[in-house]
Chains A and B, each alone.
Chain A
Amino acid sequence: MAVSGVSLAASLAPVDQHYLLEARQMQALSFAVHIPLVAFAISFPAMVLFVEWMWLRTGDQLYQTLARRWTRVIVALFAVGVITGTVLSFEMGLLWPNFTGTFGSVFGVGFAIEGFSFFLEAIFIGIYVYGWGRLSPRLHLLSGVPIVITGITGSLTVISVNAWMNHPGGFRLQDGRVTHVDPFKALFANTYLWHELVHMYVAGYIVSGFILAGCYAFARLKGRWGRYERTALAIPLTVAALAAPVQILIGDWAARDVAKAQPTKLAAIEGLYSTTRGAPEHLLGWYTQDRVKYGIEIPHLLSLLAFHSWNAKVQGLSAVPASERPPVNIVRIAFQTMVGVGTLLALIGVVYIAIWIRRRRLPESTWFYRALVACGPLAVVALIAGWVVTEVGRQPWVVYRVMPTSAAVTGASGIPVGYAVLAASYVVVASGLFWVLRRLARAPLDLPSSDPSVDPVPA
């Protein structure tokens, strides 16, 4: 698909949009607000179900209390997820009518399936949330299973569209019109889909795991450290601690796929100007005047990582005209942030697992819990940084090497107004959500008096 610069059908001709950058920022803002909620939506229900299952298995009221309290968190997070998701689907038409108008027939099926997933998710969240105490315990547990499944199908289909934008196929262009559309080939026979999906899915568990664990670590620092807090910390932390190191291996796979299909993105990630054999990798630093300054150079590492070969040729930014290169520093810094934070999270995870294996207990150092409190927000930063790498690294294309973002944008005026209003409403929504979650966390625990006979498992 190496057609650069496309003349589109006259009816949806590209326009001269003065506020293209603002349109992109508005879209980025909408994603950045939505994606952490997605991370929760794909992983948190599974953890709640595990806790509820523990309650069914042991009859220990503590698990029921925990599952019910977490359910209330799901209600708030999902409600906000619904509205931020709706905004995103509006923006497909409001900000990028030419993109949707030209390629809707190619990628739209992905969103149509996602629409159904979202629908079923909403239905079963309704049943699960309001079914507490109204359905038999077993049926209630079962009603949560579709939420987990639709979380997978929903992320699969949305990411299939993103994978298609990065690695387009399944259509032909004739005189600016899209023809020979094969939605299945475009969306699901795309090799790019799988690394993006797995990377995001595992990220979901890391983000929600560390945020939840961070909340209860904070409780510990504040002196609240009953069995409830320890349980609520151990479950998400164990998941995240195992997922974080694995994510490094998955990230390596993703990077090698990017190296093959989007060499310019890789060059931006690494700040590599000239096509080089045995290319080095730079840690930190700043890309300026066609090279990375102040970075720590590790010879041959890039060739080795990207192509598993000491002297592999890595394509540089100079291989494409300057107008077809993404903004290098944004992509590069976002990538280094993601990798740096990811490595840190993996280390914390390994420490937790190692302490468990050697001592059979939770860590005792206050420093560990201080670090955990920081890990939650850091995981969100890494998540968003990762999407910045994918999305900004794809620029200036909305459909990689097929349609430039500038040809996708709306001709309507008033983008800055919309951007400001949306940003203001998201500030209100975010502060409101923060207030709600604090309220929920502070609600009295209402635990039954502890009865040692129903304690689950002696250590």
Chain B
Amino acid sequence: MLLQSLPLVFVLMGVALYTVLGGADFGAGLWQLLAGRSARGERIREYAHRSMAPVWEANHVWLIFVLTVFWTAYPEALGSIASTLAVPLFIAALGIICRGAAYAFRAGATSARESGLIDTMFSLSSILTPFALGAAIGGIATDRVPVGNAAGNLFTSWLNPTSILIGVLAVTTSAYLAAVYLAADAARDGSHELELAFRTRALVAALLAGAVAFGGLFIVKADSHRLFHSLLSGRALSGVIASALAGLLALGLVQRRRFEAARYLAAVAVAAIIAGWALARWPTILPGLTVYQAAAGHDTLVWVIACVLVGGAILFPSLALLFRLALTGRFRAAEHAAMDATSHAPSDSRRGLLVRSAIACLIAGFALLNVAEAGWAHAIGVVCLLCFIAIAFRAIIFGALGATATNK
């Protein structure tokens, strides 16, 4: 039982982390779009880019994590979801293309005008992707995605009142998360003007998101009575309440300019609503398909869980390091290299040895890989050939680099 549900817990945690971290990235794009053409707008755009650039890639990989764990552990459910919700997922992918393109193209921009143009051009994606992904979740939540290859309606599955509501909520939440993140960053940088600007934006977005969430309850009631009922009863209700409380508390913290704590509480708010929703549905994934029916076989699940645990043990410390460097890490070390004046070019006798070993590796590799038939011989042969490349590179490169100093 645990074996079959644990991967889904990982997936939902991934969704929560993607909402918080990836959402902040999309939200930053939204603020760039809304920054306007003034000099202050320019600063906001530039700041939003600079803050996000080191971490955006890592923030987006959460989505890949969600997808891969989901399709490994619950393949049939993923096949059904991806085929029925192909349109919003494709739109989300396009949005991600645009968002990444903006970062790639920024590398070549030389003037503020160019950077601004690039940001604005691609900021549209910042609305597209969260909206499309939210709408897709709305389709699943209201049971509009049946089991089967494109068995549901390609359009009403995600263009329905609840989907649109969750899509809008995703956009406003992203805007809020981004503003808090950027305000925290600006506060650390001691940039008071930007800090206040982002704080105002955070408060506005939070109120908007709160209003959408609250008003949305009536939309959900009208659109899907079952979802409404399950959210406001039993186990789910505690999630909804926890989420609302955390959201309100976060709002108060933003007001008091305690941005870091506000970020964590915002994450709690997102996680609580996702957990509440999952509990309300449990153990159903799609209509007529439970977690236990959808789960892959024993060995696969063990492998997935082991991968996530081992991967997580490496991942989280690395991620913490990245965020520490990106957020607080201005520990400038003096940029001087160890001056090592000794020559690295191998001496003539050493070079002769290197050349002879390289040739030996090449011959051995050829004999073992291309003449011999046994698998073990092939394995050693490949290693020999790779050693040939490495040793020959060592034998040639220092001389070649020396030659570049004089060669015309």
**Whole-angstrom CA separation of A78 from B73 in the bound complex:** 29
Q: Mark A196-232, 1 if CB is under 8 A from B, else 0.
A: 0010001001000000000000000000010100110
CB distance from B185 to the nearest CB of A (A): 14
Residues on B with beta carbons closer than 8 Å to the beta carbon of A262: none
- Point out the residue from B68, B76, B92, B308 that lies within 8 Å of A11, measured CB to CB: B76
Of residues B75, B343, B344, B381, which shows the largest number of chain A Cβ atoms within 10 Å of its Cβ? B75
* B391 nearest in chain A by CB position: A242
**Whole-angstrom CA separation of A369 from B303 in the bound complex:** 50
In the bound complex, do residue B64 and residue A135 qualify as a contact, i.e. CB atoms below 8 Å apart? no
B58 adjacent to chain A (CB < 8 Å): yes
CB distance from B70 to the nearest CB of A (A): 8
B330 adjacent to chain A (CB < 8 Å): yes
**Whole-angstrom CA separation of A76 from B375 in the bound complex:** 40
Residues on A with beta carbons closer than 8 Å to the beta carbon of B154: 412-414
Residues on B with beta carbons closer than 8 Å to the beta carbon of A227: 404-405
**Whole-angstrom CA separation of A109 from B7 in the bound complex:** 12
Residues on A with beta carbons closer than 8 Å to the beta carbon of B148: 11-13, 411
A interface SS class: helix
In the bound complex, do residue B103 and residue A439 qualify as a contact, i.e. CB atoms below 8 Å apart? no
A358 adjacent to chain B (CB < 8 Å): no
**Whole-angstrom CA separation of A12 from B151 in the bound complex:** 9
**Whole-angstrom CA separation of A102 from B332 in the bound complex:** 52
In the bound complex, do residue A97 and residue B326 qualify as a contact, i.e. CB atoms below 8 Å apart? no
Question: Which residues of B, 295-353, contact A by the 8 Å Cβ criterion?
Answer: 296-297, 299-300, 303-304, 307-308, 311, 314-315, 318-319, 321-322, 325-326, 329-333, 335-341, 343-345
CB distance from B33 to the nearest CB of A (A): 18
In the bound complex, do residue B67 and residue A456 qualify as a contact, i.e. CB atoms below 8 Å apart? no
Question: At the interface with chain A, which of B40-48, B80-88, B203-211, B214-222?
Answer: B80-88
In the bound complex, do residue B333 and residue A135 qualify as a contact, i.e. CB atoms below 8 Å apart? yes
In the bound complex, do residue B80 and residue A101 qualify as a contact, i.e. CB atoms below 8 Å apart? yes
CB distance from A94 to the nearest CB of B (A): 5
Of residues A64, A80, A249, A418, which shows the largest number of chain B Cβ atoms within 10 Å of its Cβ? A249
In the bound complex, do residue B325 and residue A97 qualify as a contact, i.e. CB atoms below 8 Å apart? no
Whether A124 touches B402, Cβ cut-off 8 Å, given contacts A82-B60, A115-B65, A414-B86, is no
B224 adjacent to chain A (CB < 8 Å): no
Residues on B with beta carbons closer than 8 Å to the beta carbon of A80: 100-101, 104
Interface size class of B (residues with CB under 8 A): 35 or more
In the bound complex, do residue B393 and residue A112 qualify as a contact, i.e. CB atoms below 8 Å apart? no
* A99 nearest in chain B by CB position: B79
Q: Mark A342-371, 1 if CB is under 8 A from B, else 0.
A: 000000000001001000111000000000
Question: Which residues of B, 30-64, contact A by the 8 Å Cβ criterion?
Answer: 53-55, 57-58, 60-61, 63-64
Residues on A with beta carbons closer than 8 Å to the beta carbon of B149: 12-15, 97-98, 101, 410-411
In the bound complex, do residue A137 and residue B338 qualify as a contact, i.e. CB atoms below 8 Å apart? yes
In the bound complex, do residue A116 and residue B297 qualify as a contact, i.e. CB atoms below 8 Å apart? no
Residues on A with beta carbons closer than 8 Å to the beta carbon of B339: 59
* B7 nearest in chain A by CB position: A112
Residues on B with beta carbons closer than 8 Å to the beta carbon of A412: 83-84, 86-87, 150, 154
Residues on A with beta carbons closer than 8 Å to the beta carbon of B369: 249-250, 252-253
Whether A360 touches B370, Cβ cut-off 8 Å, given contacts A55-B337, A108-B72, is no
Whether A83 touches B96, Cβ cut-off 8 Å, given contacts A90-B89, A234-B401, A436-B107, is yes
Question: Which residues of A, 407-422, contact B by the 8 Å Cβ criterion?
Answer: 410-414, 418, 421-422
**Whole-angstrom CA separation of A414 from B92 in the bound complex:** 16
Whether A123 touches B318, Cβ cut-off 8 Å, given contacts A86-B64, A108-B71, is yes
Whether A435 touches B101, Cβ cut-off 8 Å, given contacts A12-B148, A360-B399, is no
Residues on A with beta carbons closer than 8 Å to the beta carbon of B370: 249, 252-253
B264 adjacent to chain A (CB < 8 Å): no
B196 adjacent to chain A (CB < 8 Å): no
Interface size class of A (residues with CB under 8 A): 35 or more
Residues on A with beta carbons closer than 8 Å to the beta carbon of B150: 15, 97, 410-412
* B105 nearest in chain A by CB position: A432
Residues on B with beta carbons closer than 8 Å to the beta carbon of A15: 149-150
In the bound complex, do residue A356 and residue B78 qualify as a contact, i.e. CB atoms below 8 Å apart? no
**Whole-angstrom CA separation of A398 from B299 in the bound complex:** 23
- Point out the residue from A64, A115, A134, A458 that lies within 8 Å of B325, measured CB to CB: A134
In the bound complex, do residue A119 and residue B108 qualify as a contact, i.e. CB atoms below 8 Å apart? no
Residues on B with beta carbons closer than 8 Å to the beta carbon of A122: 57-58, 60-61
Q: Mark B249-288, 1 if CB is under 8 A from A, else 0.
A: 0000000000000000000000000000000000000000
B388 adjacent to chain A (CB < 8 Å): yes
**Whole-angstrom CA separation of A57 from B54 in the bound complex:** 28
Question: At the interface with chain B, which of A178-186, A263-271, A288-296, A325-333?
Answer: A178-186
Of residues B65, B67, B343, B366, which shows the largest number of chain A Cβ atoms within 10 Å of its Cβ? B67
Whether A102 touches B79, Cβ cut-off 8 Å, given contacts A78-B57, A459-B403, is yes
A79 adjacent to chain B (CB < 8 Å): yes
CB distance from A67 to the nearest CB of B (A): 11
* B400 nearest in chain A by CB position: A234
In the bound complex, do residue A437 and residue B108 qualify as a contact, i.e. CB atoms below 8 Å apart? yes
Whether A361 touches B407, Cβ cut-off 8 Å, given contacts A181-B300, A412-B86, is yes
* A425 nearest in chain B by CB position: B97
**Whole-angstrom CA separation of A360 from B107 in the bound complex:** 38
List, sorted by A's number, 28 A–B pairs whose CB atoms are closer than 8 Å: A76-B108, A83-B100, A86-B97, A93-B78, A94-B82, A97-B80, A101-B75, A101-B78, A108-B296, A115-B65, A115-B67, A120-B315, A123-B318, A123-B321, A126-B54, A130-B54, A230-B403, A238-B397, A239-B389, A242-B396, A253-B378, A410-B82, A411-B148, A435-B108, A436-B108, A437-B108, A457-B399, A458-B343
Taking Cβ atoms with an 8 Å cutoff, the residues of B that contact A are 53-55, 57-58, 60-61, 63-65, 67-69, 71-76, 78-84, 86-87, 89-90, 92-94, 96-101, 103-105, 107-110, 147-151, 154, 296-297, 299-300, 303-304, 307-308, 311, 314-315, 318-319, 321-322, 325-326, 329-333, 335-341, 343-345, 362, 365-366, 369-371, 373, 375, 378-379, 381-382, 385-386, 388-389, 392-393, 396-408
Taking Cβ atoms with an 8 Å cutoff, the residues of A that contact B are 9, 11-15, 54-59, 64, 72, 75-80, 82-87, 89-90, 92-94, 97-98, 100-106, 108-109, 111-116, 118-120, 122-127, 129-131, 133-139, 146, 178-184, 191, 194, 198, 202, 205, 225, 227, 230-231, 233-235, 238-239, 242-243, 246, 249-250, 252-253, 308, 353, 356, 360-362, 410-414, 418, 421-422, 425, 428-429, 432-433, 435-440, 443, 455-459
